[in-house]
Structure 1
Amino acid sequence: MNTPSLAAQITAFLDGIPSLHWPATPDSHLNDSLWDFTEQLRIPANRQARLSQLCRSTLDTAIALPATPYKVLLYANTMAGEPSRALAAAETYAQDRGWHVVGRFVDVTPDTQPWERTEWPKILRRLRGGFAQGVVTADRSAVSPADEPYEQTLRWLSDHFSFIAHATASPRTSAVAR
């Protein structure tokens, strides 16, 4: 009887696991990411808990070995009005952690796609260029209130060893799917 080798058994097992894909537009600024997903998750998950965990992991990965104060960019997105409160909350959060603020960016738009805004792509270029390690916002909605663009952004940040931190945590929901 021919028993497959351990390597063949592992390969067969791994080939049986469905790969995850995420739809990305070809002109998005996130297309240099390693996460080129085109298929939806097959197992339902509590999306908010998963996104919170992904956000936290980008922060943990990016700041695992502190050598000098981290350079961060402050970002606010308002639909109208003055962004000073959001920037002040983000700056206080950064200063409380000993991070050095090296830039402030503000978009005034209701657009939920961050890469289609004016200032957000500038932030991504600075992160990719190594001029800063992370972004601090007042809350998650500054990036996007929609889950898919937010997750795409988190994955881009993770791929580029960058992080995002929110001064105000979003409300936590139960990790148990109902």
Structure 2
Amino acid sequence: MVLDGFGFSCDNGEKLRVTFALDCCDREALYWAASNGGYDSETVQDVMLGAVERRFGNSLPTSPVERLTDYGSAYRSYQTRQFARMVGLEPEHTAVRSPESNGMAESFVKTMKRDYISIMPKPDGLTAVKNLAEAFEHYNEWHPHSALGIVRHGNICGGEPVIG
């Protein structure tokens, strides 16, 4: 599982910060959250929990799942690391000053900004978040890695997948 985030501005100058989790097997965007106040460890924990629930249902993973993030303080805080382990995730971080080593997340951010955010109406934060929900849904239907030959979450990683 990969966790990361990105920001963008609305037409009225309001800034939004999006935190997301991707499934490393099929690149599905498992869960996301947006806020206009940046992000903190609580937001990251909410996204982790939502992603685990979407991927594994009401059960925790039977063995630890690697969780790759950058070195942002919200991702590496003691509380976030403890919470990650509690829900079956093993914290891993990209190299310091090397966010590009998280290529899956970087590719996702580029796709979201190029194919969705650049063209969606975003006069204000509320409208932008509503349109982001549609963007994430469309991404999951049509954008997961084409080399996998799938467009919806399948059982290619083991375990019991959950289609939300």
Normalising by structure 2, we get a TM-score of: 0.33
* Higher normalized strand content (fraction of residues): 2
Task: Give the structure-1-normalised TM-score.
Answer: 0.31
